[in-house]
A and B are shown apart, each in its own frame.
Chain A
Amino acid sequence: MSEKDILILAIESSCDETAAAVVKNGREVLSNVISSQIELHKLYGGVVPEIASRKHIEKINQVIEEALTVADTTLDELDAVAVTYGPGLVGALLVGVAEAKAISYAKGLPLVGVHHIEGHISANYIENKDLEPPFICLVVSGGHTHLVRVKDYGEYEILGRTRDDAAGEAFDKVARAIGLGYPGGPKIDRLAKEGNPDAIAFPRGKIEGSPYDFSFSGLKSAVLNYLNGCQMKGEPIVEADVAASFQKSVTDVLVEHAMMAVRESGLDKLAIAGGVASNGALRAAMEQACAENGVHFYRPSPILCTDNAAMIGAAAYYEYIKGVRHGLDLNAVPNLKLGER
């Protein structure tokens, strides 16, 4: 390793996953350890509904040790330690923040706090070495739906966001309504392949006066009304058609808004990020729309779409080289806004 290489240990514990990674120069992942991955070997967004921060406490040292071992490095060789400090569950965030501060203090390492969504966006830098701002990024996950203009590293303008449910949440709730269980996204994605996406005309949520904003609560209600209506009339429900039509409704809106943002911003690069960015139908629809419009399309591998620490390391690198440092008074901020410091 040359002297100029920057090695960052990144920690992420904002929600269900306890994760640690070692990232070199922002884009080279030397290790990327996710606790649920160790136990369940689910590569595809399979978060387990477990929010107890004691689980994070039980796992965090083990996950960090594993990350250092896989990267073949030690705490003494690091240049900085980075951690997600919001948004998320306060108890969960605090475990990562306290751990990062302890390492920072014990080893005299600079501390860099990272916004979780900035991490998701930055996941795109890891496998796309040529991707640089400015570009448009659609962040879609269980907890977030944001359409963002990435003006520069660490500089964001939120163009649109959900007014009610996040896209991934709509997937989970509709999956439950048609009896598919958790996690809903991958299950609907799979079932939808056998269904007709034009079988049922579900609404495309729009917000008057805010063309970039999203609304998925009405769509969820429309699916439930459809299911209720079938039951009342004694008509059979074709779950695959419901899944495919629902999924089409979500992806249509996401693609339309993202392409509108690309067009109106005059940019020619679009990235997607977050757990729902693993959805096969969304990836295919985005890819097609981008190809038709001469737009470069970027998306992370599924493992980098889920909550992970490599993405935090990528985001932290660009903060680090700009000179951003946090003190040992860094605290968890459960409702941290994108672009806030």
Chain B
Amino acid sequence: MIKETNSEQETYAYGASLAQQAAPGQVFALVGDLGVGKTVLTKGLAAGLGITEPVSSPTFTILQEYEEGRLPFYHFDVYRIADPEEMDEIGYEDYFYGDGVCLVEWANLIRELMPEHTVWITIEKDLERGFDYRRITVEGL
């Protein structure tokens, strides 16, 4: 499935719509270059789950947990992971195969660890269609 957006607000709203359908154990993999809008989509998804506290980047802590929403939300950013084995350090399996909703930014870096039921979301720019245009490709939903 391909969704096209033309503003941060639209990307945010799309994130929120993904949250509406999310079930316990759902895993989203989010792929895209720096500045493409991964944070925006993630914030939308968190808001869609009913999380009101600010969702800040977990690049340095790898994982940030939010318990206040409809389902527990586990926000991963594996940008700094040099070797997938390092994921053992944060006990990732408890989350990937748990009862909450996982969203993993830069999941392409740990592709072999992602569960089979992962929904892959790729965000891309196409500068010929303007700075704000984003093509969001969703596989596995």
| A residues in contact (CB < 8 Å) with B | 15, 49-53, 87-92, 141-144, 161-166, 169, 173, 176-177, 213, 217, 220-221, 223-225, 228-229, 232, 334-335
Instruction: Name which residue of chain B comes closest to A214, CB basis.
Output: B56
Please tell me if the beta carbons of B60 and A15 are within 8 angstroms of each other in the complex: yes
Instruction: Name which residue of chain B comes closest to A218, CB basis.
Output: B8
A169, B60: Cα distance in complex, Å: 8
A90-B89, A91-B89, A91-B90 known; A51+B62 contact, CB < 8 A: yes
Please tell me if the beta carbons of A225 and B61 are within 8 angstroms of each other in the complex: no
Minimum Cβ distance to chain A for residue B46 (Å): 12
Please tell me if the beta carbons of A224 and B35 are within 8 angstroms of each other in the complex: yes
How many residues on the B side are at the interface (Cβ–Cβ under 8 A)? 31
- Contacting residues, chain B, for A220 (C-beta < 8 A): 34-35
> Which among B57, B80, B82 is the interface contact of A166 at CB below 8 angstroms?
B57
Instruction: Name which residue of chain A comes closest to B38, CB basis.
Output: A217
A162, B35: Cα distance in complex, Å: 17
- Contacting residues, chain B, for A49 (C-beta < 8 A): 80, 82
| B residues in contact (CB < 8 Å) with A | 33-35, 37, 39-40, 43, 54-57, 59-65, 80-83, 85-86, 88-91, 125, 127, 131
- Contacting residues, chain A, for B57 (C-beta < 8 A): 162, 164-166, 169, 217
A176, B61: Cα distance in complex, Å: 19
A260, B60: Cα distance in complex, Å: 28
Minimum Cβ distance to chain B for residue A17 (Å): 12
Instruction: Name which residue of chain B comes closest to A220, CB basis.
Output: B35
- Contacting residues, chain B, for A142 (C-beta < 8 A): 59-60
> Which among B43, B80, B90, B127 is the interface contact of A232 at CB below 8 angstroms?
B127
Please tell me if the beta carbons of A52 and B127 are within 8 angstroms of each other in the complex: no
Please tell me if the beta carbons of A162 and B56 are within 8 angstroms of each other in the complex: yes
Instruction: Name which residue of chain B comes closest to A49, CB basis.
Output: B80
Instruction: Name which residue of chain A comes closest to B132, CB basis.
Output: A225
Instruction: Name which residue of chain B comes closest to A15, CB basis.
Output: B60
Instruction: Name which residue of chain A comes closest to B65, CB basis.
Output: A335
- Contacting residues, chain A, for B63 (C-beta < 8 A): 334
Please tell me if the beta carbons of B39 and A51 are within 8 angstroms of each other in the complex: no
Please tell me if the beta carbons of B89 and A52 are within 8 angstroms of each other in the complex: yes
A50-B82, A51-B81, A229-B131 known; A161+B59 contact, CB < 8 A: no
Instruction: Name which residue of chain B comes closest to A145, CB basis.
Output: B56
A87, B61: Cα distance in complex, Å: 8
A142-B60, A143-B59, A143-B61 known; A89+B90 contact, CB < 8 A: yes
> Which among A51, A92, A166, A177 is the interface contact of B56 at CB below 8 angstroms?
A166
A49, B55: Cα distance in complex, Å: 23
- Contacting residues, chain A, for B131 (C-beta < 8 A): 225, 228-229
Please tell me if the beta carbons of A221 and B61 are within 8 angstroms of each other in the complex: no
- Contacting residues, chain B, for A53 (C-beta < 8 A): 89
A89, B62: Cα distance in complex, Å: 7
The winner among B33, B80, B82, B91 for most chain A CB atoms within 10 A is: B80
Q: Top 3 closest A-B pairs, CB basis? A: A143-B60, A91-B89, A224-B35
Minimum Cβ distance to chain B for residue A188 (Å): 15
- Contacting residues, chain B, for A173 (C-beta < 8 A): 34-35
A221, B34: Cα distance in complex, Å: 8
- Contacting residues, chain A, for B80 (C-beta < 8 A): 49, 51
Please tell me if the beta carbons of A51 and B64 are within 8 angstroms of each other in the complex: no
A sample of 11 cross-chain residue pairs with beta-carbon separation below 8 angstroms, ordered by A number, consists of: A51-B62, A87-B61, A89-B61, A89-B62, A89-B90, A90-B90, A161-B56, A164-B43, A164-B54, A164-B57, A169-B59
- Contacting residues, chain A, for B60 (C-beta < 8 A): 15, 141-144, 166, 169
Please tell me if the beta carbons of A335 and B64 are within 8 angstroms of each other in the complex: yes
A162, B86: Cα distance in complex, Å: 26
Instruction: Name which residue of chain B comes closest to A51, CB basis.
Output: B86
Please tell me if the beta carbons of B89 and A163 are within 8 angstroms of each other in the complex: no
Query: Other CB < 8 Å A-B pairs besides A15-B60, A141-B60, 9 of them?
Result: A51-B89, A161-B54, A162-B54, A163-B56, A165-B57, A176-B34, A228-B125, A228-B127, A334-B61
